[in-house]
Amino acid sequence: DQQVKQNSPSLSVQEGRISILNCDYTNSMFDYFLWYKKYPAEGPTFLISISSIKDKNEDGRFTVFLNKSAKHLSLHIVPSQPGDSAVYFCAATLKAAGNKLTFGGGTRVLVKP
């Protein structure tokens, strides 16, 4: 049972344009969502997060939007830079059930110069 899904395995975008990554979840009890970025042969690094009591969180070029009724979140990167080329994972957690993160399958982003 895949509780967190990233339906787009890859995304190609021109440098300077906006990258939009999508993530859907099925468990309405999730109360905290995170985005991680991963380069090849490295561990995931934390990017940005959002609590279920909010619908938007912004940090520099990165903005995460949460639509609880649709069980959908998205990550916007603007403007996209070549160094943003990586695999992006969304993750969700349920505070009452402990600390484990449930990850989506990832979206590979390629930013073309």
Partner 1 sequence: NAGVMQNPRHLVRRRGQEARLRCSPMKGHSHVYWYRQLPEEGLKFMVYLQKENIIDESGMPKERFSAEFPKEGPSILRIQQVVRGDSAAYFCASSRAQVGPNTGELFFGEGSRLTVL
In the list 64, 104, 109, 111, the residue contacting partner 1 (rule: CB under 8 A) is 104
| Assigned token pair, 12 | 């190609």
Which residues contact residue 61 at a Cβ distance below 8 angstroms, ignoring those fewer than 6 apart? 77, 78, 79, 81
Burial of 12 (0-12, 13-18, 19+ CB in 10 A): exposed
Least CB distance from residue 112 to partner 1, whole Å? 23
Does residue 103 belong to the site contacting partner 1 (CB under 8 A)?
A: yes
Query: Does residue number 101 form part of the binding site for partner 1 (CB under 8 A)?
Result: yes
Rounded-to-integer distance, Cα 109 and Cα 36, Å: 13
- Restricted to residues 57-86, the positions that interact with partner 1 (CB under 8 A) are none
What residues make contact with partner 1 under the rule CB under 8 A?
4, 6, 31-32, 34, 36, 41-46, 49, 51, 53, 89, 93, 95, 98-106
